[in-house]
Amino acid sequence: MAFISFEQPERYNFAAGPAMLPAEVLEQIREELPDWRDTGHSLLEEPFTSPAFKQLMAETEQELRSLLAIPRHYRVLFLHGGASAQFGLLPLNLLQPGQSADYLESGHWARKAIAEARRHAPVNVIASGAEQDFTALPSSEYWCLDPDAGYCHITSNETGNGLQLPDFPELPVPLVADMTSDFLTRPLPVERFGLIYASTQKNLGVAGLCVVIVRDDLLRAPPRGLPAAFSYAVQAKQQSRFNTPPTFALYVAGLMLRWIARRGGLPAMAEMADARSRQLYRYIDSSGLYLCRQTHAHRSMINVCFQLADDRLLERFIAQAANAGLANLQGHSAVGGARASLYNAMPALGVARLVEFMKEFEHDHG
């Protein structure tokens, strides 16, 4: 194959996470890391109890509240670990003894959340996309909801299956959402949710931090057996400082929030996400080599999953793309195929380069 040659070699990281960061954010980290805010030492060495770090936490929370228009009766928590830790902490924090929870089975990550929740409480699967091999999402009108459930859990975007919920229903029970992969990519009706959680390594920085937005009425004393550090109520009371928070990840999240705000906030992020994904889907759908099995109405704007008509070409496609500066296009290990993750930091030029490469590869192998 004749590789695409760019006058100025560029690299674009299509990894599902940790994801690429904007060049200017990386540059700011590099400049500030040795001497943060003229303290004479690195942010990595800053005590989390210091006035300077408390100010950083307050600024980061305010930036997030402003972008999402978070109502006053919701708390913002900055917690250790990723979304997977919340799979078990949700039933332990939100359910009363003997109470069950509703879950939408939408793909790989929803299944993992269901399996972990079942270790702690009864779970009712309200609908499943398994019959369609997770190429579509069940409409909310067909969800078999339990009016006495403690909460209803959804995964707003399935990174491995390339599916995304287009909207969010109003439910009689608290709606809980894992938004890790599409958090801050579009405006949200926060008031429809009881709790939103998201790891930060997709659109909000680096791994190690999980943001939890929880309505005040869902905060309750930790049940017996739940360590205080894992209690939403305890962490809310202590302003996410019951134990040392992930200081560096929180600092990077603040930089990312300001980067998003400077570019027009969530409406601008949604417009760019739509443009990026449309360009890629348009080419895939016109191609004779690549195919996307996901239903059009439920295709993710963030994680574009696709296959090659000849599976034997997949390994060569991934390798040659990497050599052309297009890294980490392999699909999820449980799903297979290829995947281009188009988070907020992915520039339009990155998608253009990917489409150009795919056309060249199809010309040589189609």
DSSP H helices in 297-347: 314-323
Question: What is the domain count for the chain?
Answer: 2
Is 143 a known active-site residue? Answer: no
Q: How many helices (H) and strands (E) does the chain have?
A: 9, 14
- Establish whether 178 is an annotated binding residue: yes
Within-domain flag for 320: yes
Asked if residue 155 belongs to a known ligand binding site, the reply is: no
Profile the chain (366 residues) by mean pLDDT over runs of 10 residues: 47 95 96 93 95 97 98 97 94 96 98 97 97 93 95 98 96 97 98 98 96 97 92 97 96 98 98 98 97 97 97 97 97 94 97 98 91
Q: Tell me which amino acid residue 119 is.
A: R
Q: Which CATH number does the domain housing residue 133 bear? A: 3.40.640.10
Which pLDDT score is estimated for 10?
81
Catalytic residue among 36, 102, 182, 202: 202
Looking up tokens 């890629």, which residue turns up? Answer: 280
Q: Is 247 annotated as a binding residue?
A: no
In a domain, 7, yes or no: no
Q: Is residue 109 annotated as part of the catalytic site, yes or no?
A: yes
Note whether residue 63 is domain-resident: yes
In a domain, 19, yes or no: no
Looking at residue 310, which CATH number applies to its domain?
A: 3.90.1150.10
* In a shared domain, residues 70 and 159: yes
- At 173 the pLDDT is 97
Boundaries of domain holding 314: 265-365
pLDDT value at residue 82: 87
182 is in an annotated binding site: no
Predicted pLDDT at 366: 72
156 is in an annotated binding site: no
Q: Say yes or no: 206 and 314 in one domain.
A: no
Residue 15 counted as domain residue: no
Q: How high is the pLDDT of residue 192?
A: 97
> Which position has the token pair 């799979």?
87
Of 36, 102, 178, 182, the catalytic one is: 178
* Cα separations in angstroms, 35 against 38, 42, 187, 270: 6, 5, 35, 35
Q: Is residue 11 domain-resident?
A: no
